Amino acid sequence: MIPNPNVSRKPFPLPVVALGPGTQNDDAPEFPQFPKEMHTFTAPHGWMLRETGCSEAAVAWLERFFQAIAQCPEGPVVAAVDELSEPQRRWIEDAFGVGEVVAQTAAPFSLRVRESAFPGIWHEVVLGADGAVVRDEWRYAPYSAKLVDAMSATSHDVCTPPQAPTGVMNGPALVEELRHWAGKGTMGRAVHVLNLTLLPLTPADLQMLNDWLGPPMVAIAIRSYGQCRVASTRLRDVWRVQYFNSMDALILDTIEVTRLPEVVRAAPEDLALTRSRLADYLAELAR
């Protein structure tokens, strides 16, 4: 059939797309990014420490600290560095290294806490209102007692339940459960945990809980392949514990009722390893 040139043609409404093998680009596989590096700590050798200006006063302080730990292996052992100069304090910080746990408090005092590369050895610095250092000390213990003191001083045994806003479903039940457990002590019983990730909660439920628990006066971060963030609440012994993956996405959201969450503590095996490593460390310094 010969087409009539006088007849108008309507545009075809669908685009013509080539189909079949070889007509499409191959999509590259997409995988989540995994951690590639991990920082580890290696104790400096004796000659390295001497080159950095290791002084007899700093070494003597370290030896006295270790001797006190040997006499009290379960802790706590607290040693201030008030008699040392600023360079000597920095040398001790470099000698201990940086661990996985860092923390700070906003009230009732300004405190900065950092775990060393030796688990169970904590650097505690109390700051004044002007930001100047008021107290600088090192502690050997499963955890920093000053963090627990700050939590106790800024929390209450009883808090009035909040008004349930629109859209709340299970939030009021969680509030009553926390009010029941808060401030009753944690000695001799298991940690009480609320797994918010597994519970059917609406955004209004979570917002009500966040507002009722209040802003944290104690904030703790535990760094590893991912990160764990621990925050105090205005209820005594009630902590918000959240776990994030290496992409900083929240993977587990919990509330723990305990004196201090276990993830912040150094285990007895960690303390034993620290004592062994410190002994080797001092032997290396003596070479």
pLDDT digits (tens, 9 = 90+) for 121-145: 999 999 998 989 999 999 999 999 9
The CATH number linked to 222 is 3.30.1370.140
- The more confidently predicted of residues 29 and 198 is 198
Q: Based on the fold, state whether residues 165 and 133 are members of the same structural domain.
A: no
- Structural domain includes residue 4: no
- Structural domain includes residue 18: no
* Closest CA relative to residue 106, chosen from 124, 129, 123, 122: 129
Question: How confident is the model over 54-78, as a mean pLDDT?
Answer: 90
The predicted structure's pLDDT at residue 47: 47
Q: Based on the fold, state whether residues 274 and 165 are members of the same structural domain.
A: no
Q: Based on the fold, state whether residues 93 and 191 are members of the same structural domain.
A: no
Q: Based on the fold, state whether residues 138 and 247 are members of the same structural domain.
A: no
Instruction: State the average pLDDT for the chain.
Output: 86
Half-sphere exposure of 251 (CA within 13 A, CB side): 10
Domain of residue 215: give its range.
Answer: 147-264
- Structural domain includes residue 278: yes
Question: How confident is the model over 201-226, as a mean pLDDT?
Answer: 93
- Structural domain includes residue 240: yes
- Structural domain includes residue 59: yes
The predicted structure's pLDDT at residue 28: 66
Q: Based on the fold, state whether residues 123 and 175 are members of the same structural domain.
A: no
pLDDT confidence band for 89 (50 / 70 / 90): very high
- The more confidently predicted of residues 167 and 228 is 228
* pLDDT at position 73 over 90: yes
* pLDDT at position 188 over 50: yes
Q: Based on the fold, state whether residues 179 and 96 are members of the same structural domain.
A: no
- The more confidently predicted of residues 268 and 165 is 268
